[in-house]
Amino acid sequence: MNFASIIYGLFFLITLGLVWGVKTNSMRLVMVVITSIFFYASWQIQYLPLMIGILFINFYLGRWMSNAIESDHNHSHSAVENWQWYRFLLLIVGVFSNICLLLGFKYTPFVLDILGNLYHRADLLNLGIEIKERVVVPLGISFFSFECIAYLIDIYRGAPSASSLLKFSAYKLFFPKLISGPITRYHSLSKQLHTLRPPNTDQVASGVWLIACGAFKKALLADNLGILVRLIFDNLHRAGSWDIQLATFAYGLQLYLDFSGYVDMARGSGLLLGLNLPENFQAPYFTTNIADFWRRWHITLGDWLRNYLYFPLGGSRHGLIRTSLNLCGVMIIAGVWHGAAWGFMIWGGLHGLALVCHRLTVGLSQQIPLIGHWWGTWTGKAIAWLLTQLVVFGSWIFFRLPDPKDSGWAISHLFFHSPDGQFDQKVYMETIGIDRTLVGLALVLLFTSMGLLNLARVNFKLDLHWSIKLLFSPLCFYLVWLFAPQGGLPYIYFDF
């Protein structure tokens, strides 16, 4: 049930009627749970019992940990120590269970492939191939598991557990965020879930506008970019250097528009159902350093990595070497989270190294004020922006081509390589309908438009009146209906 589809629109209208058609908050939560179950079943009904089972396990682990906290205040010192060990054991069981579930589905073939090559075991290689072909990874398992881990750690740190299974189920299964996030914490939504209120006029307009903009970004822009990217990367050995550079730039735009478009539709759906989901993007391609990029790209994942990995590992409190190791380690884990392939690890490692370089640059700028002043000039900012985006877009090659053979070939042919004699004619003129130069200009125009919109939003605090949002939303839907590719492309982050 694609968000940018008529079927989802009908489903969502029925959901709105069911949720706001009942009077009590508990019945509204029941309707949220029922419609969310139906939504997930429309994608993968075979994994529905698994997801509900994970939900139950994490809810009761949280309750037992919370009960142990309450018992701490009523027992002797020795009893309190025993309860602390009990809570720690429950935490380990919960985190280990969620990680094993994630590793089992996503990384078993990858591990078998490594072991098979390492020990020259054909049986392990064949088993890995067979599992990869036969076992479908549950949609949303990464986001689901990360939310559960965060929930248990927050309780261990002292936050209250969910007192109601219904409320926890509504949080975990809430369909707009179920499959591709944003990653949300239970305690940030619990107050909203406690009293679901119908949206006011401004919230309705904002919700509809977010859905319209998300559909425009995903179905119209990202999917058309995806056709270009697929044509070039699927014929990589026939493409020239300009084609690979163009595809890399287009893929960076496609990935952003695809994922941020999904999140816009998720947030818009949430607003119309009385829940304000967190933002996940804030113009990441217009940042001047890699640390700021990660504060504005996939914000909820970055927040999760900082709070549940980087800070517990010591953050930046134990010297430069330890800080550098923490940054690289966390980013490699971020890469592995995205997929079981060497390319994702390389992508994470490159971002880790870039963060280390940024940390060194900041330290040098503090010691030599002249350098710090130069980075603050317009020239310094322009060079910083260019270097940051070269790292970001260049590393997307490993993200799009996770097999090192393919990504290595693309990197080694980024410059001074001519395309196959018929490549331009087949890809650009016959399939897309315009030549390569115009395609490049169109991408530059799109990127420039994104920059101008961000400039207006940040510097001029531009926000449309609710009436204008409602007026232009149908236009967005109409343009999607006219110009979106037939059938559409799957969401990229569904694979992660």
Would the CA dihedral through 316, 322, 323, 325 be positive or negative? negative
* pLDDT in the model for residue 447: 96
3-class DSSP assignment, residue 52:
helix
| Top-ranked range on mean pLDDT: pick from 113-122, 389-398, 423-432 | 389-398
Comparing C-alpha atoms, which of 218, 213, 241 is closest to residue 472? Answer: 213
* pLDDT in the model for residue 68: 67
Contact 436, 243 (CB under 8 A): yes
* pLDDT in the model for residue 403: 92
* 235 contact partners, CB below 8 Å, separation of at least 6: 423, 427
Mean pLDDT of 199-206: 94
pLDDT for 70 beyond 70:
no
Residue boundaries of the structural domains of the chain: 6-198, 202-281+414-495, 284-400
Residues 32-52 have pLDDT tens digits of: 999 999 999 999 999 999 999
Residue with tokens 């990680």: 99
Q: How far is CA 52 from the centre of its chain?
A: 22
Contact 278, 182 (CB under 8 A): yes
Residues 455-466 have pLDDT tens digits of: 888 777 777 888
Query: For 152, phi and psi rounded to 5 degrees?
Result: -70, -40
The Cα–Cα gap between 14 and 273 comes to 12
The Cα–Cα gap between 306 and 290 comes to 15
- Catalytic center residues: 338
* pLDDT in the model for residue 427: 82
For a pLDDT cut of 90, what percent of the chain falls above it?
64
pLDDT for 69 beyond 70:
no
Q: What letter would DSSP give residue 420?
A: P
Mean pLDDT of 203-208: 95
Residues 271-296 have pLDDT tens digits of: 999 999 999 999 999 999 999 999 99
Contact 346, 391 (CB under 8 A): no
The Cα–Cα gap between 59 and 165 comes to 7
Contact 240, 419 (CB under 8 A): yes
* Length in residues, the chain: 496
The Cα–Cα gap between 439 and 430 comes to 13
Contact 410, 236 (CB under 8 A): yes
Task: With cut-offs at 50, 70 and 90, classify the pLDDT of residue 438.
Answer: very high
* pLDDT in the model for residue 121: 87
Residues 349-393 have pLDDT tens digits of: 999 999 999 999 998 888 888 888 888 899 999 999 999 999 999
